[in-house]
Amino acid sequence: MHHNEKYNEINTKDKNSGSTNIGNVERIASAASGGALIAYGLKRSDITGALLTAAGAVLAVRGATGHSQIYDALGVNTNPEVPGRGWLSGPVNVSKSVTINKSAEELYGFWRNFENLPQFMNHLESVKADGGKISHWKAKAPLGTTVDWDAEITEDVQNDKIAWKSIEGSDITNSGSVQFLPTTNRGTVVKVEFTYDAPAGKLGALAAKLFGEEPQQQVAEDLRRLKSLMETGLIMKVEGQTSGREELPKAKAASSR
């Protein structure tokens, strides 16, 4: 009898953990938002009020049960009691490479001027370098917001490798490196690695994925744009079209330093 009770207790706990896929903070926020929408919706006697009440009820149930069917469909779980499933379970790691028909020297010279990076990295709004090892980065975030941080160059091997990391206290903790590996065909393999923690755990990465900007895909597209820019002087769009950029003369000057 004792063993059966113990088994039932463990089985019930596992079942409950599996059905609860929302963390406590998110549950509280959902319940509070749902209650507010219900209260506001009930004050209105039109169709908008009915829709707000219905939306509030969905959020309230979401907060009360700790379960989201949308998360089920996406394979997302923010419940910290489920090992390895939460958004805060670790950083986002990205590693991609591309072969470019340019010398390692030219590619290194272009990349070493970090202010060139927004020309092909769509998630970057701007990078301002101080002329030394420190630079200020501003990136585009979900819902039209931006994220800023300062970065410091941690390794700089001419024509071979550049590595950097965010300075302590930055809005987003991240690090990255780029290697320039010459090939036998006079081209160069550009290998990029990024590690970062999204501003809200992995919420930023999830939101980006929902809007078609999943980190791995985004970096791969950035490198394709870099290849097009360095080989032709034009930015290749995803659809296969090209468009010139005003920054191109500056970029060429930087890459030939």
- Contact between residue 112 and residue 129 where contact means Cβ atoms under 8 Å apart: no
My answer on whether 245 and 189 are in the same domain is: yes
Identify whether 86 is part of a domain: no
Q: For residue 150, is it within any domain?
A: yes
Residue 63 sits in the same domain as residue 103: no
- Whole-number Å distance between alpha carbons of 94 and 13: 35
Q: Is the same domain home to 160 and 187? A: yes
Tell me the residue range of the domain where 134 lies: 92-255
Same-domain pairing of 186 and 104: yes
Residue 82 domain-assigned? no
**Residue 111: inside a domain:** yes
- pLDDT for residue 27: 74
What total number of domains does the chain contain?
2
Residue 147 located in a structural domain: yes
Classify residue 200 by its DSSP letter. Answer: T
- pLDDT, position 211: 43
Among 19, 41, 74, identify where a domain stops.
Answer: 74
CATH number at residue 196: 3.30.530.20
Neighbours of 205 (CB within 10 A): 21
Instruction: Say whether both 244 and 166 belong to one domain.
Output: yes
Residue 36: both structure tokens together = 């507010």
What amino acid is encoded at 185 in this protein?
Answer: N
pLDDT of residue 226: 96
Instruction: List, run by run, the mean pLDDT of 10-residue segments along the chain (257 residues).
Output: 45 49 72 83 85 84 77 60 48 90 97 96 92 90 78 97 92 89 93 79 51 73 95 69 44 43
Whether 58 and 160 share a structural domain:
no
